[in-house]
Amino acid sequence: MKKRIIDYQKTDTMKCNNTQINALLTAYLDNALTPEESKMVEAHLNDCSDCLDELQEIRTLHLQIEHTPLIDPPTDAERRFRQMLEKQHKPQKQSITITVDFSWKKIAAAIIIFLAGAATVLLFQSKTDSDTSSIAHLENQVSQMRQVLMTALIKNDSPSDRLKAVQYAEQISGPSPEVTNILLETLNHDPSVNVRLAAANALHQFAVHQEVRTKLAQSLQQQSDPMLQIVLIKMLVQFHERSMVPTLQDFSHDEKTHEMVKKEAEEALTVLL
Amino acid sequence: MDWLSDEDIMLEVKQGNIDALSLLFKRHHKHLFNFFLQTGVEYHHSEDLTQQVFYRILKYKDSYREKAGFRKWMFTIARNIMRRHFETRKRHPEQELPAILLNISERQTIDSEEEERIKALYKALEKIPPQDRELISLSRFQGMKYEDIAEITGTTVGAIKVKMHRALKKLRDLYFEKADH
């Protein structure tokens, strides 16, 4: 009876002792070695007939695998996929019918608002260049005012004032690092969940910046509210933020994590490279 | 759109043209399906998991990074979903490979000598550890490059070179011993 090879490393038909070089043979055939490694292997092959034989065996196996056809998936696989795609289209269609279903009063109101808007646009368009520059100046001033208001309001005791402050922050055009910092501070330390949620939402638009994302990922670590955790995960996964991976792993292993958060974290982990 | 690269099509999907994903499904679902089979997932579950991968790609299309290789991303998701599958079903990936791999003639016309050879190959694959099957599937059957496999499995290219050699050596030893009969 033939002796079975159980310990592959030791009971070997090939007897080359240079295990380091031998281990590179497959990669050598796959052209996956660095130029230095290739040279080393080639030099070795010049005097090692064992490795030369092994190389031939590897090549044979590769060819055999190449000639092994893949199994066909079930014939309805594509149909099932298309059904799934169609389902993804439907919710959007529904939201369109909802907007069409508005009452006549609302439609009338919408028309009036539209006309008013159109009129304003027409008015602005007829202005000269100097006017537009003064409008820009005005906008700038409003923006500055918002920032002043925001920094004042954020310190108030009333959560609704602080909510207002966060909303101001959202509207500031070209926000300063100061604004982002205040928002991050609010996100991490505000006693009200609602204010923290609003801060997270306001920070969404700044998440294109890596520094902000890093801070958001750090913040995720200390948030305990499930809603906030989910919002932050969703936001960060959108930007493929890998620095939150350890936190997500903690969430998925921790028994105290809310079920919804766990699911969100586990799914996010599957798509992060 | 057939001439577009996977990455271009995925960008198209990311921008909202979700129907374009069906092109990527057409191109890759067979490879995904076989990846699942070869790692030990049963026939019908392999089909389900294939659909799940594409569903997840769609759901998380915004997180696709513009310069990242699509196939690399797809197999990362596939691998994670596969691991989760084994965890939740408490089925060990060490178990035998799905019967379909060993009964190819039931589904495809093939001459008997060829069938024996393929059977021997899959029997050998069945006997090696799951991590090794995974590497062999990705590299030899799905044609992924070492760099991509390193990223998918969270290790370095240097480590993959050696791991791949050892995995294939186990397969070779089992396979050629059988073929010698």
Does residue A261 sit within a domain? yes
| A23, A69, A84: residue with CB nearest B165 | A23
**ipTM of the complex as predicted:** 0.88
Instruction: Specify the pLDDT at position A206.
Output: 87
Taking only the tens place, the pLDDT of each residue in A148-180 is: 888 888 888 888 888 888 888 888 776 688 888
Q: Do A5 and B173 touch (CB under 8 A)?
A: yes
Residue B135, domain CATH: 1.10.1740.10
The domain tally of chain B equals 1
Does residue B1 sit within a domain? no
Does residue B110 sit within a domain? yes
Nearest chain B Cα distance for residue A53, angstroms: 13
Does residue B126 sit within a domain? yes
What range defines the domain where residue A157 resides?
A: 139-191
Does residue A222 sit within a domain? yes
Task: For residue B139, name the pLDDT band (cuts at 50, 70, 90).
Answer: very high
Q: What is the pLDDT averaged over residues A248-254? A: 92
Task: For residue A2, name the pLDDT band (cuts at 50, 70, 90).
Answer: very low
Test mutation, B34, B63, B162, chain A, max A CBs within 10 A: B63
CB-based contact, A131 to chain B, within 8 Å? no
Q: What is the pLDDT averaged over residues A93-114? A: 54
Q: Do B29 and A25 touch (CB under 8 A)?
A: no
Does residue A164 sit within a domain? yes
Q: What is the 3-state secondary structure (H, E, C) of chain A?
A: CCCCCCCCCCCCCCCCCCHHHHCCHHHHHCCCCCHHHHHHHHHHHHHCHHHHHHHHHHHHHHHHHHCCCCCCCCCCHHHHHHHHHHHHHHHHHHHHHHHHCCCHHHHHHHHHHHHHHHHHHHHHHHCCHHHHHHHHHHHHHHHHHHHHHHHHHCCCCCHHHHHHHHHHHHHCCCCCHHHHHHHHHHHHHCCCHHHHHHHHHHHHCCCCCHHHHHHHHHHHHHCCCHHHHHHHHHHHHHCCCHHHHHHHHHHHHCCCCCHHHHHHHHHHHHHCC
Instruction: Specify the pLDDT at position A3.
Output: 41
If asked whether residues A186 and A218 sit together in one domain, one would say no
Q: Do B80 and A270 touch (CB under 8 A)?
A: yes
Does residue A258 sit within a domain? yes
CB pairs under 8 A between A and B: 148
Task: For residue A200, name the pLDDT band (cuts at 50, 70, 90).
Answer: very high
Task: For residue A38, name the pLDDT band (cuts at 50, 70, 90).
Answer: very high
Taking only the tens place, the pLDDT of each residue in A52-71 is: 999 999 999 999 999 898 99
If asked whether residues A143 and A187 sit together in one domain, one would say yes
Does residue B121 sit within a domain? yes
What range defines the domain where residue B31 resides?
A: 6-179
Does residue B26 sit within a domain? yes
Exposure on the CB side of residue B92, measured as CA atoms within 13 A? 5
Name, in order, each residue with C-beta under 8 angstroms of B94's C-beta and a sequence gap of 6 or more: B40, B129, B130
Does residue A143 sit within a domain? yes
Does residue B141 sit within a domain? yes
Does residue A122 sit within a domain? no
Task: For residue A123, name the pLDDT band (cuts at 50, 70, 90).
Answer: low
Q: What is the pLDDT averaged over residues A16-37? A: 92
Does residue A266 sit within a domain? yes
The domain tally of chain A equals 3
Instruction: Specify the pLDDT at position B70.
Output: 95
Q: Do B25 and A24 touch (CB under 8 A)?
A: no
Of A129, A164, A191, which residue constitutes the final position of a domain? A191
